[in-house]
Amino acid sequence: MSETITFTIDGVEVQGRPGQTIIQAADEAGVYIPGSAIRRTSSRTGRAGCARCW
Amino acid sequence: MVVENDSERLLAYRRGIIEMLFVEGNHFCMFCEKSGECELQALAYRFGITAPKYPYLFPRREVDASHPDIFIDHNRCILCARCVRASRDLDGKHVFGFVGRGPEKKIAVNAEADLAGTNADAADRAMEICPVGALMRKRVGYAVPIGQRTYDHEPIGSDIEAKRASADT
């Protein structure tokens, strides 16, 4: 699993892995995207509830 | 790919959504035992929301305190579905689900009547993931005093941003 996806968020270059959400990759890189519904449960089903994180 | 996150336009949308979350429920931080640990309150502080520009709806919502060890206060629920997913995916129990649509939408429990009729337990993972004060354990309120709680010390998101700060140095 060495494949990475590179993107830029707020001017910061971030490395993501296939299957990750943008928020998960941003979290790991230290870029905060506000949102509660998508955090702290399971990655498989985490998804936006109120659209605050959009 | 370029992702836009911290822009004025997005911040304005986010402030609007956070304000709507406040006015469509009954969120009285000053006497809520979740104060200082609440993600909704913390987001409002982080984004500088002192008072919402939308009118408060003051909906009539129920409190289900039937269970001996836990309770649901629907006044504070923001319908994030974390408890639904945690109970299903982490606890393997399916205690919570949604019923109703639009302003009538709310968390329901998998029982004939109320929370006391479910197999929910205070030790369930679902009990610790509520971002607000809607799903709470009994008899542990204010164990950590106001002023010494997570978001009393630093804004929400600081833990994530600290990773970048340490990577930069």
Look at residue A54 in the predicted model and tell me its pLDDT.
Answer: 45
Distance from CA of A28 to the nearest CA of B (A): 7
Cα–Cα–Cα angle for B99, B34, B145, nearest 5°? 165
The label of the residue with tokens 């707020």 reads A10
Q: Do A32 and B160 touch (CB under 8 A)?
A: yes
Sequence-ordered list of residues with C-beta below 8 angstroms from that of B46, at least 6 positions apart, any chain = A34, B155, B156, B157
pLDDT higher than threshold 60 for residue B151:
yes
Tokens representing residue B5 in the block: 């996150």
In this predicted model, what pLDDT tens digit does every residue of B42-83 receive, in sequence order? 999 999 999 999 999 999 999 999 999 999 999 999 998 889
Look at residue A50 in the predicted model and tell me its pLDDT.
Answer: 57
Nearest-CB residue to A31 (from B5, B47, B86): B5
For chain A, strand residue ranges (E) read 5-9, 12-16
Burial class of residue B166 (count of CB atoms within 10 Å of its CB; 0-12, 13-18, 19+): exposed
pLDDT higher than threshold 80 for residue A15:
yes
Q: Do A50 and B79 touch (CB under 8 A)?
A: yes
Distance from CA of A4 to the nearest CA of B (A): 13
Three-class secondary structure of residue A16 per DSSP: strand
Q: How far apart are the first and last CA of chain B?
A: 26
Q: How many CA atoms lie within 13 A of A38 on its CB side?
A: 20
Instruction: Report the candidate in A31, A51, A6, A24 with the shortest Cα–Cα distance to residue B6.
Output: A31
In this predicted model, what pLDDT tens digit does every residue of B14-51 receive, in sequence order? 999 999 999 999 999 999 999 999 999 999 999 999 99
Question: Residue B100's pLDDT band (boundaries 50, 70, 90)?
Answer: very high
Longest alpha-carbon distance in chain A:
34
Separation between Cα atoms, residue B83 and residue B155, nearest integer Å: 24
Under 8 Å between Cβ of B40 and B131? yes
In this prediction the ipTM stands at: 0.80
Surface of A (14-53) touching B: CB under 8 A: 22, 26-34, 36-37, 40-42, 44-46, 49-52
